[in-house]
């Protein structure tokens, strides 16, 4: 399979599309990005690597980091995690509050904000120095000691984080947040602020294509069964109320972020990261979605 040729061809097609998306502005600092950025990077398990466009530029990975925090919490407390949150698609927006009242403060899944805030609470309970330890975990997975939070973006989100503050306090009222909401939110805003390039993102996530074994850190990050489960949640919940659409059009587990990044995983084959900051109305990268749809269609490779 000549991935290089396919990627080059699709990249040009999608680059020239009339992008109907808009850069996220509800976190003021996210606006400071060139909306025309567009990068792609693929890493295969058999050693092929290829990038095009702005694949070496760092961007805010935002909700993509929720997969990494889920991984660490899953490693630390195992199946007990599912006492605190579910694995059902929510069918609602990433920052929605509506289901929590009926569900007694148990978020539907770990990738909506409510679920990622509960995961943040679990990590604070189980890590000595939560922010430092989480960053060390991600650096180890990437074999890159330079990865970092963006203090600017975390602070910017904190200033306007009224919905997340509401979510955290509301969940706490049901007893499903154990720590001080201010501390939980500080951790959550920081984890969302981590910056990576498409290349780094694709490399960090390779363990999910490799049955939980990280080539970078040379350790089993997850068991085979856990890795299958994380991929399943990415497939069913990774794009909020557009998850069905992504599965239908792309056919791979994936996760998006409001910084415009998307990571997609083909178990036993590759990971591919795409970045284009303009988002569709569901909060997912307009060009990123289109690129991946064409990529699995042209390569005729997906999990289905």
Q: Which residues bind ligand GLN (CB under 6 A)?
A: 62-63, 94-95, 113, 157, 164, 192, 257-258, 283
Query: Secondary structure of 119-180 in the HEC alphabet?
Result: HHHHHHHHCCCHHHHHHHHHHHHHCCCCCECCHHHHHHHHHHCHHHHHHHHHHHHCCCCCCC
Structure tokens at 21: 């998306």
User: In angstroms, what is the minimal distance from the CB of 261 to ligand GLN?
Assistant: 9
When the beta carbons of 62 and 69 are compared against ligand GLN, the nearer one is 62
When the beta carbons of 41 and 94 are compared against ligand GLN, the nearer one is 94
When the beta carbons of 8 and 241 are compared against ligand GLN, the nearer one is 241
User: In angstroms, what is the minimal distance from the CB of 287 to ligand GLN?
Assistant: 16
Q: Which residues is 256 bridged to in the sheet?
A: 262
Structure tokens at 226: 């856990």
Residue with tokens 């990590």: 123
When the beta carbons of 95 and 179 are compared against ligand GLN, the nearer one is 95
User: In angstroms, what is the minimal distance from the CB of 3 to ligand GLN?
Assistant: 27
When the beta carbons of 39 and 212 are compared against ligand GLN, the nearer one is 39
Q: Which residues is 39 bridged to in the sheet?
A: 53, 275
Instruction: Measure Cα distances from 87 to 103, 185, 229, 230, 235 in Å.
Output: 13, 22, 10, 10, 11
User: In angstroms, what is the minimal distance from the CB of 23 to ligand GLN?
Assistant: 13
């Amino acid at each position: 399979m000549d991935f290089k040729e396919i990627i080059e061809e699709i990249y040009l097609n999608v680059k020239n599309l009339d992008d109907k998306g808009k850069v996220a502005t509800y976190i003021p600092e996210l606006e400071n990005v060139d909306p025309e950025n567009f990068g792609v990077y693929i890493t295969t398990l058999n050693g092929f690597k290829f990038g095009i466009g702005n694949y070496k530029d760092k961007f805010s990975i935002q909700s993509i980091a929720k997969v990494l925090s889920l991984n660490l919490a899953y490693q630390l407390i195992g199946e007990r995690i599912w006492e605190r949150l579910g694995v059902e698609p929510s069918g609602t927006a990433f920052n929605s509050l509506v289901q929590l009242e009926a569900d007694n403060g148990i978020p539907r899944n770990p990738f909506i904000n409510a679920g990622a805030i509960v995961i943040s609470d679990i990590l604070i309970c189980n890590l000595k120095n939560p922010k430092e330890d989480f960053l060390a975990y991600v650096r180890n997975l990437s074999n890159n000691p330079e990865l970092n939070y963006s203090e600017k973006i975390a602070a910017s989100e904190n200033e306007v984080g009224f919905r997340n503050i509401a979510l955290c306090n509301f969940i706490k009222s049901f007893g499903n947040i154990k720590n001080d909401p201010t501390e939980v939110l500080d951790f959550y805003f920081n984890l969302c602020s981590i910056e990576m390039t498409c290349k780094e993102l694709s490399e960090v996530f390779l363990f999910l294509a490799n049955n939980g074994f990280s080539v970078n850190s040379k350790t089993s990050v997850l068991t085979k069964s856990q890795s299958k489960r994380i991929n399943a949640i990415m497939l069913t919940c990774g794009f909020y109320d557009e998850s069905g659409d992504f599965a239908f059009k792309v056919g791979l587990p994936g996760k998006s972020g409001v910084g415009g990044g998307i990571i997609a995983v083909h178990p036993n084959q590759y990971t591919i990261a795409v970045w284009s900051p303009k988002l569709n109305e569901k909060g997912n990268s307009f060009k990123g979605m289109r690129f991946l749809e064409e990529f699995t269609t042209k390569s005729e490779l997906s999990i289905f």
